[in-house]
Chain A
Amino acid sequence: MASANVKQVQGAEFANFLGENRLVMVDFWANWCGYCHALSPVIEQLAEEYAGKLSVGKVDTDSNGAIAGEFNVMGLPTVLLFENGKEVDRLVGAMPKDAFVKMIEKHL
């Protein structure tokens, strides 16, 4: 579940990843989550369309429970948007692409 524009982020890399760009979007997912698989292509499209302006990563919550815990992620999928390393927005559950576009555009 990774592509050229979407980075799988693990454990200690997470803090650095948040510094990769002014805007960073992180998709929290797990292999057993049906919604997450349906969302995956949408996340990839967004990463491509906003390449340069937005860094996009994915966190597998099964192997990164601590990161999920730190950001109060308690349901999947949850997508967090960070600006300068701080959470500024989040979307929970299955959402149409428009909802993500709206969230990103608000902070561009």
Chain B
Amino acid sequence: MYDIAVLGGGPAGLAAAVSARVRSKTVAVISNAMTENGLYRSKLVPNYPGVPDISGSALLEAMHAQAEKLGAGFVEKRLLSAVYGNGQWYLGAEDEMIEARALILAGGVVRSERFAGEEKFLGRGVSYCATCDGMFFREKHVVVYGETAAAEREANYLREIGCIVVYLSRRDGKGALADTIPFLRMRTLEVCGEETVQRVLVDGETIQCDGVFLLRPSVAPVDLLPGLALEEGHIAVNRAMETNLPGVYAAGDCTGKPYQIAKAVGEGQVAALSAVAWLDQRKDG
């Protein structure tokens, strides 16, 4: 069990992890690979104080290394669920369960999106995690939707365990996808069936399948934590970076504009210090 779990390994999450470690709290950062962060592609960050000629990748790598050196744990997986019970958070990161007392949301800007039929067939053919549910679809036809290298690897995994895979993406290029997996560019997706999934409509074209893996890189905070208060589409926080949920803090782009590194870093620190103070007040520390 960790004192603090941080969702998101961008500037806000990494700054939070650094501050939490400096205050001797155990901390786990749950995030997609750093290389998937939009900032990683930036050649030059001209406005972060102290490091005038740095690239986005170099800055992220330096922040990551600093947090790691201070003893932060890293879980390079997608956080898919967050459930509170028995005074702690159970955080489902694909096939791994991370337990923590306090939670800092620093997942950046994520838009909420649901495909038609997605909710209806969840657990009846729709899955968010190949390593979790793949075994139910061996020898069966599955469609995988993804936008990241991690999703391509999950599609390869499904192929390896014996699923017959078609990969859909809004991104160009097959990336790390195995040659044996057909790749389709798509705009819209609809999941159809009766009791269970029987087919999908991809831009109106039918593909027969038994399973649909929707491997979005991130989940909108409200979908993760129903009951989380928003303000104009961002997570509502006060100056201590507290959300409306006890023991839950938010920092960075997810709390609103300006979408800037320095603002994210500052909020990450405040969120961590607030979480530390809250943990220290609790009797079970």
Contact = CB atoms under 8 A, between A and B. Distances in A.
B61 interface: no
A104 interface: no
A93 B97 contact: no
Contacts, number: 62
Contact of A72 (B85, B95, B99, B195): B195
A40 to B, nearest CB: 11
A51 interface: no
Interface residues of B, number: 24
A74 B97 contact: no
B2 to A, nearest CB: 14
B95 A74 contact: no
B81 to A, nearest CB: 4
A107 interface: no
Nearest to B84: A96
A88 interface: no
Contact of B83 (A72, A76, A94): A94
Given A34-B92, A38-B90, A38-B97, A78 B123 contact: yes
Nearest to A94: B81
B210 to A, nearest CB: 8
Given A72-B196, A75-B123, A90-B123, A34 B136 contact: no
A97 interface: yes
A93 B85 CA distance: 15
Contacts of A90: 123
B83 A75 contact: no
Contacts of A35: 81, 90, 92, 97, 132
Interface of A: 32-35, 37-38, 41-42, 61, 68, 72-76, 78, 90, 92-97
Interface of B: 80-81, 83-86, 90, 92, 95-97, 99, 122-125, 127, 132-133, 136-137, 195-196, 211
Given A74-B123, A74-B124, A95-B83, 18 more contacts: A33-B132, A34-B95, A35-B92, A38-B83, A41-B86, A42-B85, A72-B124, A74-B125, A75-B123, A75-B127, A75-B132, A78-B123, A93-B80, A93-B81, A93-B92, A94-B90, A96-B84, A97-B85
